[in-house]
Amino acid sequence: MAKVAVMGLGVVGSGVMKKLTDNQDVITRAAGQPVELVYGLDIRPTEMPLGATFTSTFEDVLGMDIVVECIGGAGVAYANTKRLLEAGVSVVTSNKELVSDHGDELLALARANGCHYLFEASVGGGVPILRPIRTCLSGNRISRIEGIVNGSTNYLLTRMDELGMSFPAALSEAKELGYVEANPAADVDGWDARRKLQILAFAAFGARLGGSEHIPTEGISRVTERDLACARSLGCAVKLIAHGERKGNGWTGWVHPSLLSANHPLQQVRDVFNGIMVQGDFVGEVAFRGRGAGSLPTASAIVGDLIEIARGAADMPEPLNVPEYVEQGMDPVQLMVRIEADDLDSAHAYVAGQMPNARVSRVKDMLCLVTHAALYDDLISMIASLSQGQIRTGVPIRII
């Protein structure tokens, strides 16, 4: 029998306890042994499922086989996870901040103490992605991984695009529905997607965990419904994309609002759904899609990790030849930019003169600029130079 405790009994922790209770027969069959919920640990008393005990004493869970960490953040969760792994207790988590910032250290602790540290739910919520890469696709050399990995921002962009809502209005609605936190910065500024990209790079390329701040990141806080109108005029949609790819013996990546054409596999990933594309040398392109957040989808991924540990299939070997992150290289890109001006005809002529190889079209009371292909930093400089007098430029949208 595998004895389990859940640490942190909020939305996700409660979902894990529900799944362990409601699907006990299914989980036992999959694990090859009973998986018993023994404790729920929190600072506030919480109603527990039949047969499980509430505790506020951390030492109670040190005797478990597996502990699910649902505290969040990198403070108490980090300290408690370290103590558990040092005691030889396996830990399963959905905590992308902790995994992204301290995953290498915690994985090393798990290996040293004969236990496991698994985090399938840290990327994609209920969408299986890390385990398939580690198992089903493990014989492939993965060259690229990219996708929509933040359901909150995808919801905001969907509402802005389909209903013409402003960013503040869509954000207010998302807060009421519980799709974003009271402080939405981690989502809308792209930090959450950046952390998840770091974890995906670990799975896909064998990269290190930690130091995700080196990844160039542009969130959606400056995107407006008018940018989305420009995208629609081109038959495209805007999504916040996290992109990683191999570069020689290293890897590179970015997080950025991106323009997706109608035939792009991720264009129709709407609402709070996530979608991730993986390119392998033997398998080709593989797509993963599903609910990227929520109590029960996240609990599904967590319990999958629990089962993997319980049936003895959770070994994660130490990666060899760890690829280092390299800065964005010399690959040319294209950008779409919204341009507004009091005199659109004069602005059109001026922009066309400054960027003669670009394409400029009129969309209602604004201009839509599609740049020529060039280095990203060079294009950003050119766009910045356009903002003069009555000409105003929007946030650059990367075309993929």
Annotated catalytic residues are: 196
Which two three-digit tokens encode residue 204? 């896909």
Phi, psi (rounded to 5 degrees) for 59: -60, -25
DSSP states of 61-90 as a string? GGG-SEEEE---TTTHHHHHHHHHHHTT-E
**Spatial separation of the C-alpha atoms in residues 101 and 98, rounded to whole Å:** 5
Nearest to residue 172, comparing CAs of 191, 150, 188, 148?
Answer: 188
Tokens of 39: 């404790």
Count CB-CB contacts under 10 A for residue 114: 9
Separation of CA 186 from chain center: 11
Q: Which residue has the tokens 């990666």?
A: 319
| Cα Rg, the chain, nearest whole Å | 23
Q: Is 50 left (phi over 0), alpha (psi -120 to 50) or beta?
A: beta
Strand, helix or coil for residue 211: coil
DSSP state of 152: H
